[in-house]
A and B are shown apart, each in its own frame.
Chain A
Amino acid sequence: MKTNEKYNDRGLRLAMKRKYEDAERMKLSDDFDDRLMQQIEQKPMHRHLWLYPVVGAVAACILLLLILNIGQGQSPRQAATTDKSMATNSKSVTTNQSIGDHQIKIDDHQICNRAATTVQSGGNKDTNGQQQGHKRTATREIPDTLGNEIWQNPENVERAIRILADCKATIQREEQEMRNMVIEATFRATPQPASAVLVTNEVGDYEVIETKRIIEI
């Protein structure tokens, strides 16, 4: 029987009531709150501090790999092709393919040279001109072209150096924080002589020393 989109089922409702009588009467023990708070205070909110240096290191690695890959991508043959194409000052073909914010200009002559050495693959892109196969190859070669262009601009080089410096500083800072956390936790968790104190040295690292040494200093 259904009323107001709800099943009536009086028998079933009564059976449920009987079945869960004990559960309804159950009460928490008096010290439950204290035990809970003790547990919570032992487990501070997870900030995953260890994640920061890991993420920083991974980001730096990816960036380095990218730079190395782009650097190596310009093989002597490709470099020669680029030089030659620059020298002949041939007509440029602009593809509509954009990577990030960069519109990439691909040299016609360069495309022809590369097409001869690269296996043609699928993936038709909407470039103009007649040489479909060459255009496909050009699409594959875009990262190299991007790399060449990117590092010709001194601003980009400066930006990359800045990013790497920032990454390095972040990693160093996070490593120091992590090191200090470990030192502090060990200091608090292990029995120490009464004269032992935790201090910060000149470079910001924690250090356990004895008070006698402080006086000497």
Chain B
Amino acid sequence: MKRMERQTGNTSEALHDETVLIHRILDGQTALFRQLAGRYAGQVLQMVARLIPSPEEAEEVTQDVLIEAYKCLSRYDSRQATFQTWLMRIAYHTALKHYRQHHKHIRTIDVEQQRLDSIPDDETDALLDDTDRLTFMERAIDMLKPDDQMLLSLYYFDDRPIRDIASITEHSEGYLRSRLQWIRKRLAITIKSLESNENK
């Protein structure tokens, strides 16, 4: 309990420290932005690199994200979201924009709604729970649209709560839940198709 209190105290202290830092940057102490950026640049890079695997390109986009954050710093409201979430929102949108501009030949598969409805929930659960189909799963993820890939990474890889993802992606929680369900079904169908092609 005491440890928890200390942790909470430390967190609120850190948040206060961050708010003070932001105020000082906005007051003209530009050099302090190095300190603020240093705290999150690594996380931004790792998020961007999920869509942009080239290290040089990912670093360039990370720089764009931080410059954008600097330019919009006065619009940041600590009551709406933490600085980290706010920064991740910029990273998410910048990475997607960059991806769409530079990877115009994205290969995605359109799956008809009827086919999606044809696969029962139990089968979807079983397919996605199976750890022997990892290669097919990776290939199926690659065939998703970039924003769906990012949604999956935020949910499964970062293990973020839906509320947090809603804040980053600027979608409603309801939309994200149904989208997630849709993506899961789509993945299950793609995995099945890839498997049957392989067996042929």
By a beta-carbon cutoff of 8 Å, the part of chain A in contact with chain B is 1-2, 7-20, 22-24, 26-29, 32-33, 35-37, 39-41, 43-46
Contacts and interface: CB of A to CB of B under 8 A. Distances in A.
B9 interface: no
27 contacts: A2-B125, A7-B155, A7-B156, A7-B180, A12-B137, A12-B184, A13-B156, A14-B131, A15-B138, A15-B141, A16-B141, A22-B53, A26-B55, A27-B42, A27-B45, A28-B41, A29-B59, A32-B59, A36-B34, A36-B37, A36-B41, A36-B63, A37-B33, A39-B67, A40-B70, A43-B71, A45-B71
A7 B126 CA distance: 12
Contact of A12 (B42, B50, B73, B156): B156
A40 B138 contact: no
B53 A1 contact: no
Interface of B: 30-31, 33-34, 37-38, 41-42, 45-46, 49-50, 53, 55, 58-59, 62-63, 66-67, 70-71, 73-74, 125, 127-134, 137-138, 141, 152-153, 155-157, 180, 184, 187
B131 A11 contact: yes
Ranked nearest first, the 7 interchain pairs of A and B with the lowest CB-CB distance are A15-B137, A23-B49, A9-B128, A12-B128, A11-B130, A16-B157, A15-B134
Contacts of A44: 30
A24 B45 CA distance: 9
Given A16-B141, A17-B157, A28-B42, A9 B131 contact: no
A210 to B, nearest CB: 33
A8 B46 contact: no
B50 to A, nearest CB: 5
B63 A19 contact: no
A32 B63 contact: yes
A26 B58 contact: yes
Contacts of B58: 23, 26
Contacts of B180: 7
Nearest to A15: B137
B146 to A, nearest CB: 14
Contacts of A26: 45-46, 49, 55, 58
B141 to A, nearest CB: 6
A123 B127 CA distance: 65
Contacts of B50: 20, 23
A37 B70 CA distance: 10
Contacts of B59: 28-29, 32
Contacts of A11: 127-134, 137
Given A12-B187, A28-B42, A40-B70, 6 more contacts: A8-B129, A12-B184, A32-B41, A32-B59, A37-B33, A40-B30
Most A-side CB within 10 Å, residue of B42, B132, B134, B184? B134
Nearest to A22: B53
A34 to B, nearest CB: 9
B130 A40 contact: no
B129 A1 contact: yes
A27 B70 CA distance: 21
A36 B184 contact: no
A28 B62 contact: yes
A24 B156 contact: no
